C-alpha cells in the first residue's frame, strides 16, 4: 500500500514559463548582450548536461547557498562562452546574480494544471507527500511562492544531502525523513535517471 509519494520538482510539479533561453536572453538584453533565445536554450542545456552533479558532500550547511550559486554561475558561464558572447558582459557575476535571484521567485515558473488537484486528492486520501529533487535551496522560496509548500511534509534536495539523484543516498535520506519502507513509496518524476 502506498503511504508516501515522493515528487520531483522541475518538470513534475512546475516548469519554466516560456523557456530558459527566453528568460536568460531577457536578462542578457538588459546588459546589451543579444543572442537568440533558441541558441541560448540549446547552449544552456548542453552546459547543464555536462556539469557535475549539484551535490556538495562534507560541506557545512552555511556554505551551501554560495556553492549552489557558483555551480549555476559555471553553467551560465559555459552557456555564454559556447555562444561566443561571454566577454560582452561588463560584469557577468552581477548579471548572473540578478538572473539567479529571479529563479528564486514565482515569476519564471508555472505550476502544471493537474498538480494541485492531484496533490489535494492524495492528501485527502491520507498519503504523505514529499519532494525529492536535484534542485537547489531556492526550491524552498519557489514552493512557497507557487503556493505548493503546504502540500509537503518535507523536502529533500541534493545539495543538502551531498548526493544527487540517481545516487542511492538521496533516496535513502528521503525515505528516512518520511519514516517509511521503500515498498510503501511511489516516486513521480520526469526522468528515469534523475
pLDDT bin (cut points 50, 70, 90) of residue 22 is very high
**pLDDT confidence of residue 154:** 97
Domain count, the chain: 2
Q: Quote the mean pLDDT of the chain.
A: 96
Last residue of a domain, one of 59, 86, 102: 102
Examine the pLDDT at 194 and tell me if it is beyond 80: no
Task: Write out pLDDT tens, residues 160-188.
Answer: 999 999 999 999 999 999 999 999 999 99
Tell which of 47, 80, 102 closes a domain: 102
Domain that residue 34 falls in = 18-102
Tens digits of residue pLDDT in 46-78: 999 999 999 999 999 999 999 999 999 999 999
- 69 & 91 share domain: yes
Question: Are 94 and 145 members of one domain?
Answer: no
Mean pLDDT of 31-59: 97
Query: Looking at the whole model, is its pTM more than 0.75?
Result: yes
User: Could you tell me the pLDDT band of residue 191, with boundaries at 50, 70 and 90?
Assistant: confident
Residues 113, 96, single domain; the answer is no
pLDDT, mean of residues 80-93: 98
DSSP string, 144-173: HHTT-GGG-SEEEEHHHHT--TTSHHHHHH
CATH number at residue 55: 1.10.150
Residue 193 lies in a domain: no
Give yes or no: residues 10 and 25 share one domain. no
Whether 194 is in a domain gets the answer no
Amino acid at each position: 500500500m502506498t503511504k508516501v509519494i515522493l515528487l520531483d520538482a522541475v518538470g513534475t510539479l512546475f516548469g519554466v514559463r516560456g523557456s530558459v533561453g527566453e528568460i536568460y536572453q531577457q536578462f542578457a538584453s538588459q546588459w546589451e548582450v543579444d543572442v537568440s533565445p533558441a541558441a541560448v536554450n540549446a547552449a544552456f542545456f548542453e552546459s547543464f548536461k555536462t556539469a557535475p552533479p549539484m551535490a556538495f558532500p562534507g560541506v557545512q550547511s552555511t556554505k551551501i547557498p554560495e556553492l549552489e550559486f557558483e555551480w549555476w554561475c559555471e553553467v551560465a558561464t559555459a552557456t555564454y562562452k559556447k555562444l561566443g558572447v561571454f566577454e560582452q558582459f561588463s560584469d557577468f557575476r552581477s548579471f548572473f546574480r540578478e538572473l539567479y535571484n529571479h529563479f528564486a521567485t514565482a515569476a519564471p515558473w508555472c505550476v502544471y494544471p493537474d498538480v494541485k488537484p492531484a496533490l489535494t486528492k492524495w492528501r485527502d486520501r491520507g498519503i504523505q507527500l514529499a519532494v525529492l529533487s536535484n534542485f537547489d535551496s531556492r526550491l524552498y522560496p519557489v514552493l512557497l511562492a507557487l503556493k505548493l509548500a503546504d502540500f509537503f511534509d518535507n523536502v529533500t534536495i541534493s545539495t543538502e544531502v551531498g548526493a544527487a539523484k540517481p545516487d542511492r543516498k538521496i533516496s535513502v535520506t528521503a525515505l528516512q525523513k518520511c519514516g517509511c519502507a521503500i515498498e510503501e513509496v511511489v516516486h513521480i518524476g520526469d526522468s528515469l535517471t534523475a
